[in-house]
Chain A
Amino acid sequence: MKQTLAQKIIARAAGRDHVTAGEVVTAKVDLAMIHDSGGPRRVAPILKELGVGLWDKDKVFLVSDHFVPGDTEEGASILALTRTWARDTGVRFHDGQGICHVVLPESGQLQPGMFAVGGDSHSPTGGAMGAFMFGIGATEMAGVLATGEIWVKVPETIRIAWTGQLGDGLMAKDIMLALCGRLGMDGGKYQAIEYTGEAIKALSMQERMTLSNMAAELGGQTGLVAPDEVTAAFLRSVGGAVPDLSDLHTDEGAEVLEDHTFDATALAPQVAAPHSPANAMPADEAGKTAVSVAYIGACTGAKYEDLQAAARILKGRKLAAGVELLVAPSSKRDQDRATQEGIMAVFEAAGAKVLPNACGICAGYGTHRLDADVTCISSTARNFKGRMGEASSQVWLGSPLTVAAAAVAGHIVDPREMLS
């Protein structure tokens, strides 16, 4: 029977030969990721109420990222609770190392073919590794932690192919904003999105992570990229074992719900106007909107390659008068690498302020929340009203290149104008 990649992974986790789209099955979880916000403080009381411990502490991956660095009284107490729980349970804990969706793949623990859950809506990021990973709420996470199982409605697959090659100055974020604009925020219909085509195959693992991450903005349950040589090389580079990849793909002729094809060669840098990622348009059609804050941060927008891209624009340039550029590298590992390669020095020389490896204002936390009426351009994944600060703040989304270009120009521009 011809199966999609998603069906193959779910069937294996459910102990079945094959599964049919639409049926509700119970599957065994290979890995459960939680963070300080939705994790211990919310699941521990439920586990206590149930009177049970963890089903398998070695399959639980805990990250502190939302309340790092704990600069408010409440944040500090949530971090303290998280640390105590980590000690008491003996789970794997990455404390202050960066944002969960980036720290997990970097750890080498997430394997292609895994059936994994995360206590965060951007958990589809794991799909970049060829894992079926999706986000769940805290109550449901407590159920997983107690039993190691979860119900899942077998999704259909929406296949999104990008043919051709992305031009210079274009990034995975541009692909995703264009898709949000074209398909809408419910275009994914909570089904499995699978990205294919030569432009996707040519992308690095970090760029694929941006695609899979923003499957959440498309409304997909997960966003898969079939594992290949790029996946294997990434796994080796982080010290992870490479499993047999030969069957981890959608069979030719397997039934899919929708097939979309887009031309990467024709894509121009995209921005999304407030207050939805679906308000996408080419950057040069944004009416040179003036910005006073530029934010390079979040799981989707400040990984090593994002920092590297932004530095291409910022090198030898200064921020426009009145513009504040905030940079919150997604992980410590990525920041360290950027430091070694002189990338962080470029940010500093341009006048940027570097913030902790944490969610920060992407989640509306920390001391840099946006003030009333501020217009910001951000490399984050979503620009819902009031998410990053005051309800009257205006957030545009763009790739790290586009954010850096706006920080230099003082208004939204096509970043290709600044690439030589």
Chain B
Amino acid sequence: MSGRIFLFGDDIDTDQLAPGQYMRGGIEAIATHCLEAIRPEFAQTVRPGDIVVAGRNFGAGSSREQAAEALRHLQVVGVVALSFAGIFYRNAVNLGLPILIAPSIDDVADGDTATLDPEGGVLRLTTKGTDVALEPMPENLRAIINNGGLVPHLKKRIAAEHKGTAE
């Protein structure tokens, strides 16, 4: 699926992704305000298949996993950044949000049309016809993402264990 790129700078923090004052609402309410402090129209204009691309330290701040959940809720297909804050990285993997490190995002412009291939580790810029190579994810983390996140992944594992003991 091809989508548009929403390009952000460095240090996008979890308060910007999941603003504190809406944390008491459900993910629906939080997602409506995702990134509004720096890009008021984001939640209204983002469409399924779109890709978030950012600079360094994406997801800095608190451990609130709604920061990653909000992006998934808006059906962003993945986040590509120069680097991620560690807790956000963990949360994204565990929620099944593809999250990939790019050595450089110099070729990427806001509004570019692109497709993200998390398995192959590449961001295809369809407007420009060029590829951005991404760092491959460790295999055990890819397994979690492919299963749709930690919960479905554990469900599979627990079911397999039960099957093992039953047999």
Contact = CB atoms under 8 A, between A and B. Distances in A.
Interface residues of A, number: 39
A284 interface: no
Contacts of B86: 190, 219, 221
A50 B151 contact: yes
Interface in B127-152: 138, 140-141, 149-151
A185 B15 contact: no
B150 A387 contact: no
A212 B4 CA distance: 41
B24 interface: yes
Contacts of B13: 384
A386 B87 contact: no
A38 interface: yes
B11 A385 contact: no
A267 B24 CA distance: 41
Interface stretch (A10-18, A88-96, A142-150, A323-331): A142-150
A150 to B, nearest CB: 9
Contacts of B94: 137, 139-140, 143
A386 B83 contact: no
A140 B15 contact: no
Contact of A46 (B61, B141, B151): B151
Contact of B154 (A74, A119, A143, A363): A143
A121 interface: yes
Given A121-B63, A139-B151, A50 B158 contact: yes
Contact of A386 (B20, B138, B140): B20
Given A135-B63, A143-B94, A186-B85, A151 B140 contact: yes
Interface in B1-58: 11, 13, 15, 19-21, 24, 37, 56-57
A364 B155 CA distance: 35
Nearest to A191: B86
A385 B65 contact: no
A115 to B, nearest CB: 15
A68 interface: no
Contacts of B154: 50, 143, 146-147
A186 B84 CA distance: 9
Contacts of B104: none
B91 A139 contact: yes
A49 interface: yes
Which of A38, A46, A186 has the largest count of B CB atoms less than 10 A from its CB? Answer: A186
Which of A50, A74, A119, A221 has the largest count of B CB atoms less than 10 A from its CB? Answer: A50
Contacts of B151: 46, 49-50, 139, 142-143
A384 B67 CA distance: 15
B126 interface: no
Given A50-B155, A121-B61, A137-B64, A186 B11 contact: yes
A186 B158 contact: no
Nearest to A275: B15
A138 interface: yes
Given A49-B151, A185-B57, A151 B15 contact: no
B65 A138 contact: yes
A52 B158 CA distance: 9
A136 interface: yes
Nearest to B60: A185
B95 interface: yes
Contact of A186 (B19, B57, B65): B57
Contacts of B83: 186, 189
B61 A140 contact: no
Contacts of B62: 121
A120 interface: yes
A159 B25 CA distance: 41
Contact of A121 (B87, B150, B155): B87
Contact of A139 (B11, B21, B138, B150): B150
7 contacts: A74-B24, A121-B61, A137-B64, A142-B150, A146-B158, A190-B85, A190-B86
Interface of B: 11, 13, 15, 19-21, 24, 37, 56-57, 60-65, 68, 83, 85-87, 89-91, 94-95, 138, 140-141, 149-151, 154-155, 158
